[in-house]
Amino acid sequence: MFRTAPCQVVGCSLVAITTALVAIPGASACTRVLWSGKGDTPVLVGRNMDWFEDMRSNLWILPRGVERDGLAARNSLKWTSKYGSVVVSSYEAGAGDGVNEKRLSGNMLYLVESEYRARDESRPGLCVALWLQFCLDNFASVEEAVAYFTSHDVQVLPATAGDSAKKAISLHLALGDASGDSAVIEFVAGKAKIYHGRESRVMTNSPTFNKQLQGIQNYQGFGGKQPLPGTAAAADRFVRAAYYARALPEPKNPRAAIGGILSVMRNVAQPFGVADPQRPNISSTIWRTVADLTCGVYYFESSLSPNIIWVHFDRLDFSEKAGVRKLDLVKNQDLVGDVTSGFRPAPAFEPLRPDSGY
């Protein structure tokens, strides 16, 4: 939620938030909300994936001990995964959403204002398609990730994806953990701008995050006089997500908590028929996830299925010897309930490579 505690901002100047923004906090156009109540209520991250076409998304278990490369032509970032993760793939070319075994969640959302700039080979290069995976592989908390991107001048490299229309992947990243901590990272003018704190619990798309925080102060409930907005625009979804997450009652049990965050995410979802390939930030909602970072359960709901499926992290083997495993959602759209045991060994998907010149 947005609270009165000030937001720590790294790499930019942010107008102080004087209004109380309560408990809230998606590659593509989307909405992301992190919510936590009082006492023993779980920390939850809800996310809608909005896009203009089918992304052929599947669920994957990715183990520890995998060597990866940022795919830059020169001075590429290299690492070996410290933590295993469960991710949702996009075009089988990268992770768009996921949680690692330390219960760090990551959500990639479309941001047209992202600027990666021309390649600077003095900076370690990381393809945007691997940005989320790098975080899930290496960090146990939001604080660790923020510290890394504050002290390391990584250059995220652009890439292009899509079927019916090729689109540059212009993204920003939201991170959350089981403590309720949250951060948003955007690349503007080629440099990372980091918004760290409870005010970063909601994220949609354009404009940049500092302008979203300023704009919400114009609305009733956040210090302003304008009524709650209702369009598909990202700034309007930002306000509604913040408003309805703040209004959630304290849940009586984890089931009620999941129902609550799903009610908010469905409220800010986009119906079929409004998708526009030229404006992917207002596309239709094709799937959503909820990550219970307290209980270690990851939920997935496709807009083409009446069913919700989920995975229990405490029943998964993330060891290197367990290997990569896949749950095929494209071919199995009638799955329902607990699918923890449904993953099968599979070759890892090949990450998308950066655009030429990088």
DSSP string for 260-328: HHHHHHHHT---TT---TT-GGG-EEEEEEEEETTTTEEEEEETT-S-EEEEEGGG---SGGG--EEE-
> Residue 333, exposed/middle/buried by CB under 10 A (0-12, 13-18, 19+)?
exposed
Q: How many residues does the chain have?
A: 358
Q: What angle, 0 to 180 degrees and rounded to 10, lies between the N-to-C axes of helices 234-246 and 254-267?
A: 150
30 is catalytic: yes
User: In whole angstroms, how large is the CA radius of gyration of the chain?
Assistant: 19
Q: Which of the following is catalytic: 7, 12, 30, 295?
A: 30
Q: Is 17 helix (H, G, I), strand (E, B) or coil?
A: coil
Nearest-angstrom CA–CA distance, 17 and 212: 11
Enumerate the active-site residues: 30
